Amino acid sequence: MENYSIYSLAKKYYPETVRIRHEIHMNPELGFEEFHTSKIITETLESIGIETHKNIAKTGVVGILRGNHPGKTILLRADMDALPINEETSLDYCSKVKNKMHACGHDGHTAGLLGAAMILSELKDYIHGNIKFLFQPAEETDGGALPMIEEGVLENPKVDAAFGCHLWGGTEEGKINIKHGPAMAAPDTFSFTIIGKGGHGAMPHLAIDPITICSQVINHIQSIISRNINPLQPAVISFGTINGGDTFNAIPSEVTVSGTIRTFDEKVRKTIPIAIENILKAQKVSHNCDYKFHLEEKFPALINDHKMTDFIKGSLSKVVGDENVLELEEPSMGGEDFAHFTKRVPSSFFFVGISKDLSDPVIHHHPSFQWDDKNLLKVSASFAQITMDFLKE
C-alpha cells in the first residue's frame, strides 16, 4: 500500500476543520432550517472537487467521491442541526443567535466529516470504490435520515455499508467507544388527555376530576415496566409534561400528559402503548370520564452490525491505539435516527470521547455544553481510516 498517514493528513486539514466548526457553531440552525450550514458544506465539497448533491430532504447534502478504481460504496454520515437552547458559554465563537445553540456536538460531526472529505480527496488515486459523505438535517426533531433514504441516498451507487459517530460526553477524551448490537433505544413519544367534568373545588362530587384520575393513570403506567415487561428487556417510560387547570379552587375539565417510551425490542415497543391505552380504558369505565391517546413512533432502535463493529475496532485502533477503543458496557437509552441506516445496510455507530474527567462529564443539551476543538482530529481521522480500510482492493 502507498505510504501515507491518515493522522498526519488530519493534522494538515485541522485548521480549516476548526474554522468550519466555529462558523457553524456561531450560526446554529434548527432542524430542516440548516440553509447556511448546507451552503458551507456544499462550497467546501465543491472546492475539493467532490460531486455534490444538495436540497435532499430540504436541506440535506450528499457528496460523492468516486475513486480511481472500481469497488464497494461506503456512506459516512454527519448530522447538522442545533437545539432551541440559549448558549451560556464564554467561547469566542459562541452562538450569535438567541435561543439557538449547538449543544450536542453536531457542529463537530459536520466539520469532522468535512475534514475526512479533505483527507480522502487527497487519497483519491488510492481509493477502490465510492464514498458518500452524507450531511443530514433534523436529527434532534423529526429525523432527516428517513426522508433522505426515501429520496434515494442509498442508491446510485448502491451503498454497501454505513458509518456514523457522535462526540460523546459519557466517554473520556482520547478514547472511542464501540457497541456490538443494540446501542441506542427507539425514542417514541406519547400523550393522553383525561376528559372529565369541571366544577367548583368546594363541590367535587358534582365534577369528574381529571387531575385525580390522571394521577392514578400515571401510577398505573409506571407499573407496566415492573409487571408487564420482562425485567431482562430494557425499557423506560418517563413523563415530561402535565397540563391542566387555571386556578386553585376550580376542578378543570381536562388534563393532558406527555412523555417518552424508550425500548430496544420491537415486541416490547408494541406492547407498552397497548398497555397504556388499556389503563386509560379502565379509568374511563371506573370514573365515567373519556380520554384521547396519541402515540408517535420516532426512530427504531439503533442496532449495530456485529461484523461492521468488529471491522471498525481495527480501524479505530489505528487512530487512537487498541487500548483506547473500548466496548460500551451498556447501551444508551437515548435515541438516534442513524438507526434508519442500520436497518437497511450493514452499519456501525461509534462514540468519540470529549470529557476530560468522567466524574464531571460534559452534559449534552445543556446551555454550557462545550468541548475541545482537538477532538475534531479523532472524528476526521476515524472516518478516513474506516473508509480506506473498507475500500481496500
Which residues contribute to the annotated binding site for Mn(2+)? 104, 106, 140, 166, 365
List the one residue out of 54, 33, 30 whose CA is nearest residue 42: 54
List the one residue out of 378, 17, 18 whose CA is nearest residue 168: 378
The answer to whether 344 touches 149, Cβ cutoff 8 Å, is yes
Work out the number of other CB atoms within 10 angstroms of the CB of residue 388: 22
**Catalytic site residue 79?**
no
* Alpha carbon of residue 268 to chain centroid: 21
Q: Helix H segments across 66-191? A: 106-122, 145-150
Going from the C-alpha of 97 to that of each of 30, 79, 250, 381, the distances in angstroms are 11, 19, 41, 31
Q: Grid coordinates in use for 161? A: 455499508
d(CA 291, CA 298): 23
**Catalytic site residue 330?**
no
The residue from 81, 107, 173, 305 that is catalytic is: 81
* Terminal C-alpha separation, the chain: 10
Work out the number of other CB atoms within 10 angstroms of the CB of residue 46: 13
The answer to whether 324 touches 173, Cβ cutoff 8 Å, is no
What DSSP designation does 322 have? G
d(CA 354, CA 344): 29
Binding residues: 104, 106, 140, 166, 365
d(CA 230, CA 379): 38
Between β-strands 347-355 and 176-178, what pairing exists: parallel, antiparallel or unpaired? antiparallel
330: Cβ–Cβ under 8 A, 6 or more apart, which residues?
Answer: none
The residue from 79, 87, 139, 172 that is catalytic is: 139
156: Cβ–Cβ under 8 A, 6 or more apart, which residues?
Answer: none
Query: Which residues are catalytically annotated?
Result: 81, 139
